[in-house]
Copies of this chain bind each other. A is one copy, B any other.
């Protein structure tokens, strides 16, 4: 059983015509899973709907608390990419659980998006990895504390 926690980020963005801009909308993970033929085996809890640049220390405590009190040992967290590494660091003091953070460079609602691949990749990572806190992005697994987003290359990399 996998606990899914959603916090917002690019993966969940929708386009609002009214103000001609993207905002964070309903979590896209449930529809992506249904489409991917995954109908059970998880429990989803929506925590936040934020661009990760707007996440505060309090927000990170909300995520920490939710991961900590979850009755499941395998936890997937959707998160904006800009401060995903920070949230991973905050979570890294949690012991005994396999926690995987992921997101997307293009919204799941776009025709071309990395969201579905990333979800599948993270799903496998959280199922197979030993306890710890990880970021699963661009087809690679990174351990919390040793990863950063390279804005220019649009990729995550080891530090």
Interface residues, chain A, with chain B CB atoms under 8 Å away: 10, 13, 15, 17-18, 20-22, 32-33, 35-38, 41, 51, 53, 80-82, 105-107, 109-114, 116-125, 127-129, 136, 138-141, 151, 154-155
Contacts and interface: CB of A to CB of B under 8 A. Distances in A.
Contacts of A37: 105, 114, 117, 138-139, 154-155
Nearest to A107: B15
A25 to B, nearest CB: 12
Contact of A20 (B10, B124, B128): B10
Please indicate which of the listed interface residues A22, A53, A82, A151 has the most CB atoms of chain B within 10 Å of its own CB: A22
Contacts of A36: 114, 116-118, 139
Nearest to A128: B128
A20 B81 CA distance: 10
A138 to B, nearest CB: 5
A91 to B, nearest CB: 20
Contacts of A17: 10, 81, 105-106, 154
